[in-house]
Amino acid sequence: MAGTKLTDVIVPELFNPYVINKSMELSALVQSGIVANNSEFDKLASQAAPIINMPFFEDLTGESEQIIEGIDLTDNKITSNKDMACIIRCAKKWSATDLSAALAGTTEINFHI
């Protein structure tokens, strides 16, 4: 008998957006505005490949220029490069029985990461 597998009950097209939305909703970094969601990164991270190409912009360099009437500022190039990133998939599970919850004096146990 084969048994039920994860792929039998979880449809990635339905499950992945829920996980992303819930993570975004509960994250203190996202709530603070330090981190923002990017659909391109979501697409890259949901790929099956463990290594992906990650394009990025090089740091901006150079000295500032004085603004002088009638003289144009110098155009500077913005350069890009590429790097490789490893997709790390990990998980942690906690569980509690109804009996342990009752003995702890609560009827519900909630964990937020």
Give buried/exposed letters for 26-65 (b at 16+ CB in 10 A, else e). eeeeeeeeeeeeeeeeeeeeeeeeeeeeeeeeeeeeeeee
More confident residue, 33 or 63: 63
Q: What is the pTM of this model?
A: 0.36
Most confident of 8-12, 22-26, 27-31, 49-53: 49-53
* Cβ-contact 85, 51 below 8 angstroms: yes
The predicted pLDDT at position 16 comes to 62
* CA-closest candidate to residue 99, choices 91, 90, 109: 109
pLDDT at 70 over 90: yes
Question: Is the pLDDT at 63 greater than 80, yes or no?
Answer: yes
